[in-house]
Amino acid sequence: MGWETWIVTTLSRSLAYGTPLLLGTLGEIYAERSGVLNLGVEGMMIMGAYSGFTTAYITGNPWLGILVAAVVGGAFSLIHAFTSVTLKANQVVSGLSLTMLGLGLSGMFGRGWEGKPLPATIPKITVPGLSKIPFLGPIFFEGQNLIVYMAILLVPLLWYILYRTRIGITIRSVGENPATADSLGINVDRVRYMCVLIGGVLAGMAGGYLSVAYRPAWTEGMTAGMGWIVIALTIFAFWNPAYGMLGAYLFAALYHLSFRLQPWVSPELLKAMPYAFAILVLIFVSRGTLKKRIGAPAALSLPYTRGEE
C-alpha cells in the first residue's frame, strides 16, 4: 500500500468514526452554551445505540432506527433538564446519574441482542463524478453514508444559528448571565430545556449511527467512553461548532492511527493516546483564567432561580 492510499484510507475512516463524536459535540455545545453542563452524554448515546439497533432489527428499517434513537436520546435528556433546570439539582451529579442509568438499562435490556446481524443497514454511497477528484474524492465522496454528510452540514447551520441569529444571542445570553436575560423577558428555563433537548437528540442520533450504520450490531458498552470524549471536545472546541468539527475528526484520526501504527508502536500506548489527549485538553483548559479567555459560558453548571442573583 502506497503512502497516498494509506493517508486516504486513514482520513476516510476518520470521517466515518468522527461522525458520532461530531454529533454529540454539537449537541453538548448547545446545552453548555445555555448554561447546562450535561455529563450524561454517554448514557444518552448508549440508549440511542440500543434503541436504534432494536428498532432497525425489528422493523428492517435503519432510518426508523436512527429516528427512534434520536427520540430516545431526547427523552433521556429531559430527565437531566428536569432535575437540573426545574429542580435546580447539582448538574454534575444529575449528569453522572444519567450516564449510569443509560449504561445500566441498555445492559439489562440489551441481553439477547448481541451477535444478531441487522437485516438492513444504511448503505454507503459513492457520489458519481466527485469521487474521481484526486485525493479528496475517495476521502469525502466514496464509501460514506448520508449521516456523515448530514453531520457535516449541521456544523455551518448550528454555527450560523448560534452566532448570527436572535435565537443564538438568546441562548448565549442565558448561558452568560441568566438574570439579565430574565430581566429582558427571556424565559431562561425554556431556553435551557430546549438546548438540553437538542443535545439529547443529537447524542441519541450519534448512538444510533454507531449501532445501525458504523458498526451494524449491538454490543453492551459499545459507545466505549465516547460520551466522555464529547465532553472534552466541547471544551477543546471553545464551545464553537466549527472548532467542534475539527476536534471530532482530529480525535477520530488519532483513534484510527492507534490501530494502523501497531506494527511500529506499542498497541497499549497507541490505544491510550486518544484518551490521554482528551485528558490533557481538559487539564489545560480547566485553569480558571484560561477558561475565561477561551470563552466558557459564565453561568455554566449554575442553576438559576429568579430573585436570588
Q: Is the dihedral of CA 160, 26, 148, 201 positive or negative?
A: negative
> And the C-alpha cell for 196?
438540553
Q: What is the pLDDT of residues 257-286, one digit of tens each?
A: 877 777 777 767 766 776 777 677 766 666
CA 309/CA 299 separation, integer angstroms: 12
Among left, alpha and beta (phi > 0; psi -120 to 50; other), residue 2 is: beta
Q: What is the pLDDT of residues 193-209, one digit of tens each?
A: 999 999 999 999 999 99
Mean per-residue pLDDT of the chain: 90
Q: Is the pLDDT of residue 180 over 80?
A: yes
Q: Is the pLDDT of residue 2 over 80?
A: no
Mean pLDDT of 213-220: 92
Q: Which residue has the higher pLDDT, 1 or 8?
A: 8
Burial of 123 (0-12, 13-18, 19+ CB in 10 A): exposed
With H, G, I as helix, E, B as strand and everything else as coil, classify residue 126: strand
- 171 touches 191 (CB < 8 A): yes
- 29 touches 239 (CB < 8 A): yes
Contacts of 138 (CB under 8 A, 6+ apart): 8, 12, 131
Question: Count of CB atoms within 10 A of residue 161's CB?
Answer: 15
> And the C-alpha cell for 188?
431562561
CA 66/CA 70 separation, integer angstroms: 6
Provide the residue type at 19 as one letter: T
Q: What is the pLDDT of residues 34-72, one digit of tens each?
A: 999 999 999 999 999 999 999 999 999 999 999 999 999
Query: Based on C-alpha coordinates, what's the Rg of the chain?
Result: 20
CA 70/CA 197 separation, integer angstroms: 10
Q: What is the pLDDT of residues 110-150, one digit of tens each?
A: 998 998 888 889 989 888 888 888 888 888 998 899 999 99
User: 43: closest CA among 65, 74, 89?
Assistant: 74
Q: Which pLDDT score, from 0 to 100, does residue 285 have?
A: 62
> And the C-alpha cell for 140?
469525502
Provide the residue type at 6 as one letter: W
Contacts of 92 (CB under 8 A, 6+ apart): 37, 39, 301
Query: How many Å separate Cα 119 from the centre of its chain?
Result: 26
Phi–psi pair at 143, nearest 5 degrees:
80, 15
> And the C-alpha cell for 307?
430573585
Query: How many Å separate Cα 86 from the centre of its chain?
Result: 24
Give the end-to-end CA distance of the chain in Å, rounded to a whole number. 63
pLDDT grade for 187, boundaries at 50, 70 and 90? very high
User: 245: closest CA among 257, 236, 256?
Assistant: 236
Q: Which pLDDT score, from 0 to 100, does residue 132 have?
A: 87
